Amino acid sequence: MPHVVLLRSLHPDATAALEAEPGFTVETLHDTSRENMARAMATADAIIVRATPINADFLSFSPKLAIVARHGVGYDQVDVPELTKRGIPLTVTADANALSVAEHAMMLMLNIARGTQAYDANTRALKWSNTDAPVTWDLSGMTLLVVGFGRIGGRVSRLAAAFGMDVLVCDPNVPMNTVKGAGFRYAKTLAEGLAQADWVTMHCPSNAENRGMVNAEFLAGMKPGSRFINTARGTLVQEAPLAAALGNGHIGAAGLDVFWDEPMSQDNPLLKAPNVVMTPHSAAATQQGLRRMGLSCVDSIVRHFKGEIDMDMVINKEVIRSNR
Q: What is d(CA 287, CA 280) in angstroms, rounded to the nearest whole number?
A: 16
Q: What share of the chain is helix, strand, coil (3-state, %, to 5)?
A: 40, 15, 45
The three-state DSSP-derived secondary structure of 192-204 is HHHHHCCEEEECC
Cα gap 257→74, rounded to integer Å: 14
Q: Considering only the C-alpha atoms of the chain, give the largest distance between any 2 of them, rounded to a whole number of Å.
A: 68
Taken as a whole, the chain contains a residue count of 324
Please, what sign has the CA dihedral across residues 46, 48, 52, 54? positive
Find residue 90's DSSP bridge partners: 68
Roughly how many angstroms between the first and final C-alpha of the chain, as a whole number? Answer: 21
281 is catalytic: yes
What is d(CA 76, CA 172) in angstroms, rounded to the nearest whole number?
21
Concerning whether 233 is annotated as a catalytic residue, the answer is yes
Which residue is catalytic, options 21, 211, 262, 291? 262
H-state helical runs in the chain: 12-19, 34-41, 56-60, 80-85, 98-113, 116-124, 151-162, 176-181, 190-196, 216-220, 239-247, 287-305, 317-323
Selected catalytic residue, list 233, 239, 292, 304 = 233
CB 278 within 8 A of CB 44: no
Instruction: Name residue 54's beta-bridge partners.
Output: 78
Contacts of 216 (CB under 8 A, 6+ apart): 238, 241, 244, 245
User: Known catalytic residues?
Assistant: 233, 262, 281
